[in-house]
Structure 1
Amino acid sequence: MNKPILTIVVPCYNEEAVLKETISQLIMVVNDLIEEALVSKNSKLLFVDDGSKDQTWNLIEAECDKNRMVTGLKLAGNVGHQNALIAGLETANNYSDCVISIDADLQDDIHVIKTFLEKYWEGSDIVYGVRESRETDTFFKRNTALFFYRFMERIGMKLIPNHADFRLMSKRALEELLKYKETNLFLRGLVPLVGFSSTKVYYDRKERLAGESKYPLKKMLAFAFDGMTSFSVAPIRFVTFLGFLSVVISALVGGYAIVQELLGHTESGWTSLVISIWFVGGLQLMGIGIIGEYIGKIYREVKQRPRYAIEVDRFSTLVKEKQEELVFK
């Protein structure tokens, strides 16, 4: 069996604080894999700049000029983590025998990449990187994540608990994934639908070396909600929020009305009328908002807009140059 060409895809957004260290460590990992004959010497690192506003792309270009193992893809604007990741996967697909995706913050343990490749050699088409524990998370984040995975399982969605986007995919598995053309991307839900043989590799997640998390609480909650509905539309989501707010207000007003009833300061029937109007109105707004989420999903899909636009593609340029060298030889 020929040694597979590996491409490690790394989506980046405003990662200048950590990028140099990330590139350095990943280069060492790939060099070790080459020395151990687990991958081809033509293996690459592909950094996808998702419309960063700092020096991220300049750092990527500088490394591309210094080291032919490092390549870059600059998107024309910020399209979000999932779209940036799929852009990198699509670009790497034709050149690679297997692809590994990993975030740029180095919180995922890069040393288990070797284990990924060993599982690939054993015949696994998909290797999931799964967190051993969530002890480094806050109490709130740990328990909300547990609730999320249990809820998704209850509604019949196949997810790998404690798995994000740190995974290996073989060429045939990746080609099947790329057949899913929906605009509303939730890769953690799509990859398990691909099928093929898969396995898990457990690891301990580290603290971020530098920079700030690109997934604060607000984004994590939004991402989880998108996973449940496959997508969301902000204005309609705001209507949903109004529905929840109405229910809360109705409870408060209902409590006040009950107190007034006990004190004898109300007219007969006023209490039940106020509570029912506020509560039912809140439920109606919630229902409209949830239905709107799915209508928004359909609306986004039928427009069939491209998921991203590429401004600079250093990866394909390098591959073309390599192919031309082989022809001339």
Structure 2
Amino acid sequence: MDPELSVVVPMYDEEAVLPMFFERMHPLLDSLGLPYELLVVDDGSRDSTAALLLEAAKDWPQLRVIRLLRNSGHQAAQSAGFRSARGQYVVTIDADLQDPPETIAEFLHVMRERDLDVVYGVRSDRSSDSWPKRTTARLYYRLMCRLVGKQIPFDAGDFRMVSRRVVDAVNALPEDGRVFRLVIPWLGFPSAEVTYIRAERAAGSTKYNLTKMTRLAFDSVTAFSAAPLRLATWLGLLGGLMSALFVVGALVIKLTGRGVPGWTSTVLAVSVIGAIQLLCLGLLGEYVARLFQSSQRRPQFLVGYDSLEDQKRAEPVATR
């Protein structure tokens, strides 16, 4: 029987948290009373995550393990889960248990009762996160709301439930490197929000360091807005205006004979104009890089193993 619910879980080096994750997720999904699959996407883990998943799948038929050939990133692992999920309802959740799995039951109730296509999990309390993470997250969502639009749910990460219509719409998008927390609200399907308190990571260490968060912010901005290009234009105009002022100042000093040609004005002019030019080139480079990656048409991820294929091959043997 095809599952009605698919729970997509990207994982990368999560061996420390897996026992606690299974302990909470298994009874919860069994209690929902509908066919389901727990679709774990192993994003090229270097520890024993894959081995523990395959061992658990022996006694848990609904546990489906997909292994990517290499570490492709959190959003790419979600894309792999979306392309492989079979359920009419699809939930995405991380394995660190900061987002409580028990909220899935509330997601399902709200979606069915109100006939929605998306239910977002919104963090009402992030006191478990460090101050730098809370601050950068707040800045990120404010920036996204300003650039992309007010439809972006504030403080909603990748914990959500979507319908099959949304999954098919996302999979049909031609773009690579999609950011799910922006793409799904942008589609405009009927949605609601469910608030929850974000807990501390159950075990292990976070895989989303400052570098990855910065990369996510750049991908979010360049994928959904041309505002940085317009900023480059305005900075260019500002640089031209400042250059004109420097020229006027230099002419006044020369004509009045009140100063000896010095290096201060030259250094200031070169520094300001040079900084603006480098910033503009950097912004343009981000867009050129995205165009270059799109022109290569390389797959965002490659699936190396899917335990569902093993189950299909074993079915004829079991029915003999």
Are 2:112 and 1:121 aligned? yes
Seen in structure 2, the aligned counterparts of structure 1 residues 319 and 102 have a Cα distance that, compared at 3 Å, is farther
Aligned to 1:135: 127
Query: Aligned partner of 2:90: which letter?
Result: V
Aligned to 1:150: 142
Task: Please state how far the C-alpha of 1:321 moved relative to its aligned partner.
Answer: 5.8
User: Do the aligned residues in 1 keep the contact of 2:28 with 2:102 (CA within 8 Å)?
Assistant: yes
Task: Please state how far the C-alpha of 1:143 moved relative to its aligned partner.
Answer: 2.5
**Superposition pairs for residues 1-329 of structure 1, below 5 Å?**
5-34=4-33, 39-40=34-35, 43-92=36-85, 95-122=86-113, 123-157=115-149, 158-230=151-223, 268-318=261-311
Query: Aligned partner of 2:141: which letter?
Result: Y
Query: Aligned partner of 1:279: which letter?
Result: V
Task: Please state how far the C-alpha of 1:149 moved relative to its aligned partner.
Answer: 1.5
TM-score normalized with structure 2 length: 0.83
Q: Deviations over 1:85-110 (max 9, x none)?
A: 11011111xx3111111001111011
Q: Deviations over 1:201-255 (max 9, x none)?
A: 1000110111110112222122112211139xxxxxxxx9xxxxxxxxxxxxxxx
User: Do the aligned residues in 1 keep the contact of 2:129 with 2:200 (CA within 8 Å)?
Assistant: no
Query: Aligned partner of 2:269: which letter?
Result: S
Task: Please state how far the C-alpha of 1:295 moved relative to its aligned partner.
Answer: 0.8
Query: Aligned partner of 2:68: which letter?
Result: L
Aligned to 1:256: none
Task: Please state how far the C-alpha of 1:174 moved relative to its aligned partner.
Answer: 0.8
> For structure 1, which segment, 51-60 or 307-316, has the greater mean C-alpha deviation from structure 2 after superposition?
307-316
Q: SS in structure 2 opposite 1:66?
A: coil
Looking at structure 2, the residues matched to 120 and 320 of structure 1 have their Cα atoms a distance apart, in angstroms, of: 35
Looking at structure 2, the residues matched to 277 and 303 of structure 1 have their Cα atoms a distance apart, in angstroms, of: 37
Q: Deviations over 1:135-158 (max 9, x none)?
A: 223333222222222222222344
User: Do the aligned residues in 1 keep the contact of 2:177 with 2:300 (CA within 8 Å)?
Assistant: no
Q: SS in structure 2 opposite 1:178?
A: helix
Query: Aligned partner of 1:215: which letter?
Result: Y
Q: SS in structure 2 opposite 1:200?
A: strand
Seen in structure 2, the aligned counterparts of structure 1 residues 162 and 62 have a Cα distance that, compared at 3 Å, is same
Query: Aligned partner of 2:11: which letter?
Result: C
Gaps of 5+ in 2: 225-231, 233-258
Aligned to 2:236: none
Task: Please state how far the C-alpha of 1:320 moved relative to its aligned partner.
Answer: 7.1
Task: Please state how far the C-alpha of 1:131 moved relative to its aligned partner.
Answer: 0.3
Looking at structure 2, the residues matched to 319 and 69 of structure 1 have their Cα atoms a distance apart, in angstroms, of: 13
Task: Please state how far the C-alpha of 1:134 moved relative to its aligned partner.
Answer: 2.4
User: Do the aligned residues in 2 keep the contact of 1:129 with 1:167 (CA within 8 Å)?
Assistant: yes
- After superposition, the CA RMSD in angstroms is 2.4
User: Do the aligned residues in 2 keep the contact of 1:102 with 1:167 (CA within 8 Å)?
Assistant: yes
Task: Please state how far the C-alpha of 1:312 moved relative to its aligned partner.
Answer: 0.9
Looking at structure 1, the residues matched to 271 and 57 of structure 2 have their Cα atoms a distance apart, in angstroms, of: 61
Query: Aligned partner of 1:269: which letter?
Result: G
Gaps of 5+ in 1: 232-239, 241-265
User: Do the aligned residues in 2 keep the contact of 1:46 with 1:315 (CA within 8 Å)?
Assistant: no
Looking at structure 2, the residues matched to 120 and 318 of structure 1 have their Cα atoms a distance apart, in angstroms, of: 31
Task: Please state how far the C-alpha of 1:294 moved relative to its aligned partner.
Answer: 0.5
Task: Please state how far the C-alpha of 1:4 moved relative to its aligned partner.
Answer: 6.8
Q: Deviations over 1:261-319 (max 9, x none)?
A: xxxxx954321111111111011011001001001111111211111111110134436
User: Do the aligned residues in 1 keep the contact of 2:3 with 2:37 (CA within 8 Å)?
Assistant: no
Looking at structure 1, the residues matched to 109 and 3 of structure 2 have their Cα atoms a distance apart, in angstroms, of: 12
Q: Deviations over 1:187-212 (max 9, x none)?
A: 11111122221111100011011111
Seen in structure 2, the aligned counterparts of structure 1 residues 50 and 316 have a Cα distance that, compared at 3 Å, is same
Calculate percent identity across the aligned residue pairs: 36
Q: SS in structure 2 opposite 1:164?
A: strand
Seen in structure 2, the aligned counterparts of structure 1 residues 4 and 52 have a Cα distance that, compared at 3 Å, is closer
